C-alpha cells in the first residue's frame, strides 16, 4: 500500500532553517516524482518544489528559489526539503505527494499527484 509520511515541521524564528522529510513506501523509486506543497489558512494549496530523479528534474516556486532545496536519498525512498532563510509568509502546513507518471518533468501542479501525506506544520514566528 502506498504511503507518504512527513516529519520535521515545527516552530522557527524568521531567518532560521528547517529540514522536512518525506518517507515513501509502496512506490517504485525509479519512476515516481515527489512534490512538496504548502497550504496556509484561507489560501489555496501551493506547489513549493518537486523532483523527478529519473529525469534529473527539479523545479521551485519563485517565492522559495534560492532558499529551499529539494533532494532525495540514494535509494529514492526519502525526500527532503531544506528550508533556509525562513520568512513569516512560509508559515503553512507542508505536504509531500507522489507523482506516478511514467514520463515528463516534475510539476508543481497538484493535479498530477495521486498520493499525499498527512502534512506537517511549519510556523515561522519570533
84-102 pLDDT, tens digit per residue, is: 999 999 999 999 999 988 7
29-45 pLDDT, tens digit per residue, is: 777 889 999 999 999 99
pLDDT at 104: 81
Non-local (6+) Cβ contacts of 33 within 8 A are 50, 51, 52, 53, 57, 98, 99, 101, 106, 107
Query: From residue 79, how far is each of 43, 44, 73, 89 by CA, in Å?
Result: 25, 23, 7, 23
Alpha carbon of residue 5 to chain centroid: 11
For residues 3-19, average pLDDT: 97
Three cell numbers, residue 11: 516552530
Contact at 8 Å (CB) between 86 and 62? no
Question: Which stretches of 14-99 are assigned E, i.e. beta strand?
Answer: 18-25, 33-39, 46-52, 57-60, 68-72, 78-83, 92-99
Amino acid at each position: 500500500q502506498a504511503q507518504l509520511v512527513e516529519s520535521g515541521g515545527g516552530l522557527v524564528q524568521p531567518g532560521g532553517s528547517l529540514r522536512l522529510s518525506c518517507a515513501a513506501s509502496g512506490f517504485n523509486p525509479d519512476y515516481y516524482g515527489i512534490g512538496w506543497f504548502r497550504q496556509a489558512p484561507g489560501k489555496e494549496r501551493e506547489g513549493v518544489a518537486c523532483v523527478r530523479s529519473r529525469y534529473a528534474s527539479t523545479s521551485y516556486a519563485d517565492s522559495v528559489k534560492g532558499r529551499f532545496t529539494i533532494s532525495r536519498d540514494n535509494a529514492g525512498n526519502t525526500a527532503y526539503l531544506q528550508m533556509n532563510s525562513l520568512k513569516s509568509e512560509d508559515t503553512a502546513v507542508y505536504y509531500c505527494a507522489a507523482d506516478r507518471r511514467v514520463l515528463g518533468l516534475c510539476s508543481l501542479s497538484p493535479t498530477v499527484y495521486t498520493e499525499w501525506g498527512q502534512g506537517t506544520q511549519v510556523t515561522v514566528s519570533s
